[in-house]
């Protein structure tokens, strides 16, 4: 039997490769984006309580209504935008699923999607598997900002969607007011959709406001905005997220969703509905994670690596020009095997594999983990 691959150029992801190497060589894993510390015990207790109360069967396809109402209240509290819990919010098994479903909802073969690189590695395959064409625009180093003049040049009648990610994975860059102004001007009067990946919504630093698309009702009407509970509450293995859109677009989103996942983990949804009322649980995340970023940055000053700014997310990029001329994948593999620290080469976030001698570190770890890792990195020759 022969399968004609829909993704002929896709192999095992670098995240799987590096995590397997980390396990094989007993390395400290600063590659894959997950915490190594415990999540909130109160949230665990709420899930346990929900199970004991019998919330162990399917909830509606759209998601547990109590959770959708809590999300709508949170959106109003944070962004002063009224969202209808019944018609505009769908609970999904993670943020990546929400992104895939939004793309599948909108795209037809031959459509073009503008993607900014370096980009989270699911974007391009998600576009291509729908028969659409990724139109790639490089973010401008060292701040990884968007060149909106380049975007204007790439827009044409086939442009169906622009994909945004703020805070950005892998760079930690964030959208600013001028980015929103440019975006508004560019899509006004067009049929271009926006997909806004905001899974690191609360992990934004230095008192910079998160400019969620949810702040702007005119943009929300043409957008799918995707979130992750795993990133917010340190429970990436739960694989729960949600998508917010207009009622009309969400109706189409649910047509795809109902024949794919249909319904997500019930007791976790019930628990999250109650836990979302603890506003401090997500409002405190920025300072909590910024402390880790700053701690890691101070430790890394003892090494030969050169830092690039990170304004949000779990991640910070470091260049190694002062250490080696190896390509970034070879260098990352050598770090894992010889020094016991796993990272992710930034070339993995470019379709072309562009190598800028830069690797990504995840600092969402216990301080003792970060300290142990840097002690090993100080030994690099």
> Which of 121, 264, 289 shows the shortest CA–CA distance to 210?
289
Residue 32's pLDDT band (cuts 50, 70, 90): confident
Residues in CB range of 119: below 8 A, 6 or more apart: 136, 163, 165, 349, 350
pLDDT in the model for residue 161: 98
Segment 217-233 mean pLDDT: 96
> Which of 234, 232, 237, 242 shows the shortest CA–CA distance to 279?
232
pLDDT in the model for residue 189: 95
pTM of the model: 0.96
Output the six-digit token pair for 215: 């702040």
Determine contact, residues 273/266, Cβ cutoff 8 Å: no
Determine contact, residues 118/170, Cβ cutoff 8 Å: yes
Output the six-digit token pair for 139: 């973010």
pLDDT, one tens digit per residue, over 124-150 is 999 999 999 999 999 998 899 999 999
Tokens 């790439």, residue? 154
Segment 310-333 mean pLDDT: 96
pLDDT in the model for residue 11: 82
What is the spatial distance between Cα 342 and Cα 29, in angstroms, rounded to a whole number?
A: 5
Do β-strands 112-117 and 159-165 pair in parallel, antiparallel, or remain unpaired?
parallel
Query: Collapsing DSSP states into helix, strand and coil, what is residue 116?
Result: strand
Output the six-digit token pair for 38: 């415990």
What is the spatial distance between Cα 87 and Cα 243, in angstroms, rounded to a whole number?
A: 11
> Which of 313, 316, 324 shows the shortest CA–CA distance to 300?
316
Which residue(s) pair with 306 in the sheet? Answer: 319
What is the spatial distance between Cα 346 and Cα 357, in angstroms, rounded to a whole number?
A: 8
What is the spatial distance between Cα 381 and Cα 370, in angstroms, rounded to a whole number?
A: 20
pLDDT in the model for residue 34: 87
Neighbours of 227 (CB within 10 A): 27
pLDDT in the model for residue 12: 83
Does domain 14-39+283-377 fall into CATH 3.30.70.2190?
Answer: no
Neighbours of 132 (CB within 10 A): 22
Percent of the chain whose predicted confidence (pLDDT) is above 90: 96
Q: What is the mean pLDDT of the chain?
A: 96
pLDDT, one tens digit per residue, over 102-113 is 999 999 999 999
Segment 52-56 mean pLDDT: 97
Is the pLDDT at 120 greater than 80? The verdict is yes
Location of each CATH 3.90.1150.10 domain in the chain: 14-39+283-377
pLDDT in the model for residue 10: 86
Residues in CB range of 3: below 8 A, 6 or more apart: none
What is the spatial distance between Cα 106 and Cα 104, in angstroms, rounded to a whole number?
A: 6
Helix then strand then coil, % of the chain, to nearest 5: 40, 15, 45
Fold of 57-279: 3.40.640
Location of each CATH 3.40.640.10 domain in the chain: 57-279
pLDDT in the model for residue 102: 98
What is the spatial distance between Cα 380 and Cα 46, in angstroms, rounded to a whole number?
A: 45
Output the six-digit token pair for 310: 């990170």
Is the pLDDT at 381 greater than 80? The verdict is no
Query: Collapsing DSSP states into helix, strand and coil, what is residue 253?
Result: helix
Torsion sign, CA atoms 171, 289, 286, 273 = positive
Segment 312-333 mean pLDDT: 96
What is the spatial distance between Cα 363 and Cα 25, in angstroms, rounded to a whole number?
A: 20
Q: How many residues does the chain have?
A: 381
pLDDT in the model for residue 285: 95
pLDDT, one tens digit per residue, over 147-177 is 999 999 999 999 999 999 999 999 999 999 9
pLDDT in the model for residue 14: 86
Torsion sign, CA atoms 328, 331, 336, 340 = negative
What is the spatial distance between Cα 247 and Cα 89, in angstroms, rounded to a whole number?
A: 9
pLDDT, one tens digit per residue, over 263-315 is 999 999 999 999 999 999 999 999 999 999 999 999 999 999 999 999 999 99
Percent of the chain whose predicted confidence (pLDDT) is above 70: 100
pLDDT in the model for residue 1: 86
């Amino acid at each position: 039997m022969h399968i004609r691959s829909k993704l002929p150029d896709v192999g095992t992801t670098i995240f799987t490769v590096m995590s397997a190497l980390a396990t094989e060589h007993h390395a400290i894993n600063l590659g894959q984006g997950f915490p190594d510390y415990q999540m909130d015990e109160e949230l665990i207790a709420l899930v346990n309580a929900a199970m004991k109360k019998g919330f162990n069967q399917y909830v509606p396809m759209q998601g547990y209504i109590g959770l959708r109402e809590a999300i709508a209240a949170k959106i109003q509290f944070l962004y002063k935008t009224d969202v209808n819990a019944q018609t505009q919010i769908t609970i999904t098994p993670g943020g990546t699923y929400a992104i895939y479903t939004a793309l599948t909802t909108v795209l037809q073969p031959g459509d073009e999607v503008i993607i900014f690189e370096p980009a989270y590695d699911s974007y391009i395959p998600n576009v291509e598997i729908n028969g659409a064409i990724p139109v790639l625009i490089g973010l401008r180093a060292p701040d990884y900002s968007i060149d909106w003049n380049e975007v204007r040049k790439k827009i044409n009648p086939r442009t169906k969607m622009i994909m945004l990610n703020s805070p950005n994975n892998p760079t930690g860059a964030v959208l600013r007011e001028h980015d929103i102004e440019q975006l508004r001007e560019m899509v006004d009067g067009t049929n271009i959709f926006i997909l806004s990946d905001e899974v690191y919504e609360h992990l934004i630093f230095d008192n910079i406001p998160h400019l969620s698309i949810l702040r702007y009702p005119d943009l929300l009407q043409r957008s799918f905005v995707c979130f992750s509970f795993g990133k917010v509450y340190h429970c990436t293995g739960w694989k729960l997220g949600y998508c917010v859109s207009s009622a009309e677009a969400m109706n189409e989103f649910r047509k795809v969703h109902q024949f794919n996942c249909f319904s997500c983990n019930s007791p976790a949804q019930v628990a999250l509905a109650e836990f979302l009322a603890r506003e401090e649980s997500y409002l405190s995340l920025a300072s909590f994670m910024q402390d880790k970023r700053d701690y890691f940055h101070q430790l890394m000053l003892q090494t030969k690596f050169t830092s690039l700014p990170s304004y949000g997310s779990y991640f910070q990029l470091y260049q190694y020009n002062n250490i080696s001329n190896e390509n970034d994948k070879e260098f990352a593999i050598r770090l894992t095997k010889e020094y016991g620290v796993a990272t992710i080469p930034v070339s993995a976030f470019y379709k072309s594999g562009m190598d800028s001698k830069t690797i990504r570190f995840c600092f969402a770890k216990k301080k003792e983990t970060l300290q142990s890792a840097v002690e090993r990195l100080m030994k690099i020759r």
